[in-house]
Amino acid sequence: MSFLLSCPLCGPRDVYEFRFGGEAQARPTPGADQRSWGEYLYMRTNVSGVERAWWFHRAGCRRWFQAERDTRTNTVIRTGWAPLGGNLPSGNSSGSDG
Amino acid sequence: MIGPLRRLRMGVAKSLKPSYDVVIIGGGSHGLATAYELSKLGVKNVAVLDRSYLGSGASTRNTAIIRSNYRTAQGVAFYDESVKLYERMSVELGLNVLFSQHGHLTLAHTELAIAGLRVRAETNQLLGVDSRVIFHDEIRRIAPALDLSSRPRFPIQAALFHPPGGIIRHDAVVWGYARRAQERGVDLHPYTDVTGIDVVEGRVTGVQTSRGPVRAGIVVNATAGWASTIAQMVGLRLPIVTHPLQALVTEPLKPFLDPVLVSATLHVYVNQTDRGELVIGAEIDPYASYSMRSTLPFLETSASHALELLPAIAGVKVLRQWAGICDMTPDYSPIMGITPVGGFLVDVGWGTYGFKAAPVSGKRMAELIATGRVPDLIAPFALERFYTDSLIGEKAAAAVSH
- B84 occurs within a structural domain: no
Of B309, B328, B347, the position where a domain reaches its end is B328
What span, in angstroms and rounded, lies between the C-alpha atoms of B62 and B227? 17
- Shortest distance between the Cα of A63 and any Cα of chain B, in A, equals 17
> Across the interface, do A16 and B286 touch by the CB < 8 Å criterion?
yes
Residue of A nearest to B288 (CA): A71
Q: What is the mean pLDDT of chain B?
A: 95
- Domain identity same for B256 and B315: yes
Does residue B140 lie within any of the structural domains?
yes
Last residue of a domain, one of B305, B328, B351: B328
Verify that B139 and B276 share a domain, yes or no.
yes
Percent of the residues in chain B that have a pLDDT greater than 70, as a whole number: 96
Which of A20, A44, A72 lies at the smallest CB-CB distance from B239? A44
B96 touches chain A (CB under 8 A): no
Shared-domain flag, residues B156 and B270 = yes
- ipTM field: 0.90
Is residue B370 domain-resident?
yes
Same domain, B180 and B109: no
Same domain, B37 and B175: yes
Residues B247 and B160 in one domain: yes
Residue B91 lies in a domain: no
Q: Domain containing B161: what range? A: 101-166+241-328
Residues of chain B neighbouring A97 (CB-CB closer than 8 A)? 290
Backbone phi, then psi, for B199, in 5-degree steps?
-125, 125
Residue B83 in any domain: the answer is no
pLDDT at B2: 53
Name the residue facing B290 among A16, A18, A72 (closest C-beta): A72
CATH of the domain at B344: 3.50.50.60
Q: How many domains does chain B have?
A: 2
Give a yes or no: residue B225 inside a domain: yes
Q: Does A20 touch chain B (CB under 8 A)?
A: yes
B402 vs B265: CA distance, rounded Å: 7
Task: Judge whether B229 is closer than 8 Å to chain A, CB to CB.
Answer: yes
What distance in Å separates residue B163's CA from the closest CA in chain A? 36
Do residues B122 and B247 share a domain?
Answer: yes
Asked whether residue B76 is assigned to any structural domain, the reply reads: no
Rg of chain A (C-alpha set)? 14
Element (H, E) at B194: strand B194-200
Is residue B338 domain-shared with residue B308, that is, in the same domain? no
Residue B398 reports pLDDT greater than 80: yes
A72 touches chain B (CB under 8 A): yes
B249 and B143, same structural domain? Answer: yes
Inter-chain residue contact B239 with A43, CB threshold 8 Å: yes
Q: How confident is the model over B266-283, as a mean pLDDT?
A: 95
Q: Which residues of chain A neighbour B288 with C-beta distances below 8 Å?
A: 20, 22-23, 46, 51, 53, 71
pLDDT class for B6, splitting at 50, 70, 90? low
Task: Write out the CATH class of domain A4-80.
Answer: alpha beta
Q: How far is A1 from chain B (nearest CA, A)?
A: 5
User: CA-to-CA distance for B240 and B394, rounded, in angstroms?
Assistant: 15
Same domain as B246, residue B160:
yes
Q: List chain A residues with CB under 8 Å of B228.
A: 44-48
* CATH number, position B305: 3.30.9.10
Which of A49-63, B315-329, B383-397 is predicted least confidently? B383-397
In this structure, the strands spanning B166-167 and B158-162 are unpaired
Examine the domain organization and report whether B219 and B256 are in the same domain. Answer: no
Q: Where are the domains of chain A?
A: 4-80
- Please report which confidence band the pLDDT of residue A96 belongs to, taking 50, 70 and 90 as the band edges: very low
Give B279-328 as a DSSP string. Answer: EEEEEEPSS--------HHHHHHHHHHHHHH-GGGTTPPEEEEEEEEEEE
Same domain, yes or no: B245 and B324: yes
Q: Which of B328, B349, B366 is the last residue of a domain?
A: B328
Class of residue B371 by CB neighbours under 10 A (exposed 0-12, middle 13-18, buried 19+):
exposed
Q: Is A22 on the interface with B (CB under 8 A)?
A: yes
Q: Is A45 in the B-facing interface, judged by CB distances under 8 Å?
A: yes
- How much is the pLDDT for A90? 54
pLDDT at residue B248 in the model: 97
Of the candidate ranges A60-69, B8-17, B184-193, B284-293, the one whose mean pLDDT is the lowest: B8-17
Give the minimum alpha-carbon distance from A86 to chain B in angstroms, rounded to a whole number.
22
Report if residue B74 sits inside a domain. no
CB-CB neighbours of B101 under 10 Å:
18
- Residue in chain B lying closest to A92 (CA): B229
User: Inter-chain contact B286–A51, Cβ cutoff 8 Å?
Assistant: no
Contact A23 B288 (CB under 8 A): yes
Contacts of A2 in chain B (CB under 8 A): 295-297
Percent of chain B with pLDDT over 90: 94
Q: For residues B103 and B119, is the Cβ–Cβ distance under 8 A? A: no
**Contact: B228, A46; criterion CB under 8 Å:** yes
